[in-house]
C-alpha cells in the first residue's frame, strides 16, 4: 500500500474507533428539488434532461 493511502486508512480507522466510543443519535434527511435550466451535463440519450437535484 502506498504511504499516502496507508496514512489515510489509518486516520479513518482512528476516526471510527474514536466515534464508536461516544455514539449519539443523529437525524438524516433527503430532499429533492426540480431545478429547470441548472443542469448542463445530465442529458439522456433520448434528449430528456434530468433537472432534479437530490441532497442527502
Q: What is the pLDDT of residue 52?
A: 86
Q: What is the pLDDT of residue 38?
A: 77
Q: How, if at all, do strands 31-34 and 52-55 pair?
A: antiparallel
Listed by start position, the domains of the chain span 25-56
pTM above 0.75, yes or no: no
Cell of 56: 442527502
- Model confidence over 4-40: pLDDT tens digits? 899 999 999 999 999 999 999 999 999 999 888 776 6
Amino acid at each position: 500500500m502506498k504511504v499516502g493511502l496507508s496514512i489515510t486508512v489509518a486516520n479513518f480507522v482512528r476516526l471510527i474507533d474514536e466515534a464508536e466510543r461516544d455514539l449519539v443519535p443523529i437525524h438524516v434527511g433527503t430532499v429533492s428539488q426540480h431545478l429547470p435550466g441548472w443542469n448542463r451535463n445530465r442529458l439522456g440519450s433520448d434528449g430528456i434532461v434530468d433537472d432534479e437535484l437530490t441532497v442527502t
